[in-house]
């Protein structure tokens, strides 16, 4: 898949940073024909799905089988993310996630259903390998949007979800190495690593869904909550516009409600690619002279976002050059891995 460097302006009036040009690596996604009607409105794909990072390929491969059979986006995302959560080789999600500062694995996860803007999320959960399933149960069985810590764990117990160890030999080894590099548990530590699994999906009914799951920053302070379970920051979904999921430094992503910004640009007429690049660049420009960015370790300035619109078109952008994501759609039901355009 050929990549080329381009300069482009923000397409439509009102999207971008005035007349500022953006330099990025541009990826041309396949053009799809209008082939599918969900009851009065024609769209480009009868289903589509995209996920963050190379490990997102596993989620997309599993999820599209359900989408193709007519299952909902929420079913597809739960199935896909659940597989990533129990993969011990993924060190930033679920089992095998690198622990917090005191050696415990704490997990965050979220769902958003675009048809009614319903949300279910958990934060700082210990001992449950599939927090995405807890998030779905919160969405479907409670009047609440987010449960945290022991309250979320008691709810999971009440729903019959099984506990399991989250710490693995390799994650413990990684924790000990990072702790040693910073000289123990003294103040002044640097929490690093933040590769959230985020998935967006369009199903055959036209439903749009977003889901996220993460163990958060390595060596984070106990109880720290990042962007991943926070609506508008780590995720957003609306059937009338599209969905987006973010990954990277949550403390920066939260400052700009990155995912919500992307969806609102798509609502205004931007393509997913334009919306991702424009919203991310706007946040970069706003934060570039702040202490949070100027004096931070490079790992704590990285951000990326993936989006899907109501026609099944996909876009992505990152402020660094090593963000790959997975996507597939019904017109070409193969899972593609793509290097996201870098905005700078």
Active site residues: 196
SS3 310: coil
Measured CA to CA, the distance from residue 265 to residue 279 in angstroms comes to 8
* 264 φ, ψ (degrees, to nearest 5): -70, -35
Closest to 340 measured CA to CA, from 327, 251, 178, 279: 327
Range list of β-strands (E), 175-259: 197-202, 208-214, 235-238, 242-248
Q: Which residues contact 222 (CB under 8 A, 6 or more apart)?
A: 100, 101, 102, 104, 106, 124
Alpha helices for 24-110 (secondary structure H) = 56-68, 73-85
- Contact between residue 253 and residue 231 where contact means Cβ atoms under 8 Å apart: no
Measured CA to CA, the distance from residue 125 to residue 103 in angstroms comes to 14
The two tokens of residue 84 are 């990533």
Axis-axis angle for helices 73-85, 131-141 (nearest 10): 150
Range list of β-strands (E), 176-241: 197-202, 208-214, 235-238
Q: How far apart are the first and last CA of the chain?
A: 22
* 4 φ, ψ (degrees, to nearest 5): -140, 150
Closest to 72 measured CA to CA, from 136, 135, 122, 128: 136
């Amino acid at each position: 898949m050929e990549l080329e460097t381009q300069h482009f302006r923000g397409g439509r009036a009102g999207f971008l940073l005035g007349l500022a040009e953006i330099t990025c690596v541009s990826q041309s996604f396949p053009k799809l024909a209008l082939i599918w009607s969900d009851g009065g409105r024609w769209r480009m794909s009868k289903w589509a799905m995209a996920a963050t990072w190379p490990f997102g390929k596993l989620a997309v491969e599993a999820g599209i089988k359900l989408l193709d059979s007519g299952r909902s986006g929420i079913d597809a995302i739960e199935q896909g993310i659940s597989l990533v959560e129990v993969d011990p080789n993924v060190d930033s999600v679920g089992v095998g996630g690198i622990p917090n500062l005191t050696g415990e694995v704490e997990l965050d996860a979220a769902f958003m259903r675009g048809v009614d803007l319903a949300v279910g999320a958990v934060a700082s959960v210990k001992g449950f390998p599939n927090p995405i399933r807890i998030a779905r149960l919160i969405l479907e069985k409670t009047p609440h949007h987010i449960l945290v810590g022991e309250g979320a764990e008691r709810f999971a117990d009440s729903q019959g979800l099984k506990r399991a160890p989250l710490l693995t030999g390799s994650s413990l080894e990684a924790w000990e190495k990072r702790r040693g590099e910073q000289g123990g548990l003294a103040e002044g530590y640097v929490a690093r690593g933040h590769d959230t699994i985020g998935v967006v999906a369009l199903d055959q009914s036209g439903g749009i869904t977003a889901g996220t799951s993460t163990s958060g920053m390595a060596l984070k302070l106990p109880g720290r909550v990042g962007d991943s379970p926070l609506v508008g920051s780590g995720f957003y979904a609306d059937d009338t516009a599209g969905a987006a999921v973010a990954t990277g430094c949550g403390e920066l992503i939260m400052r700009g409600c990155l995912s919500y910004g992307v969806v609102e640009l798509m609502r205004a007429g931007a393509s997913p690619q334009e919306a991702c690049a424009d919203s991310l660049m706007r946040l970069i420009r706003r934060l570039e002279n702040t202490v949070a960015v100027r004096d931070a370790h490079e790992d704590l300035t990285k951000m990326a976002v993936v989006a899907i619109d109501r026609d099944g078109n996909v876009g992505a952008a990152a402020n660094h050059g090593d963000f790959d994501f997975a996507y597939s759609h019904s017109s070409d039901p193969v899972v593609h891995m793509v290097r996201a355009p870098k905005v700078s």
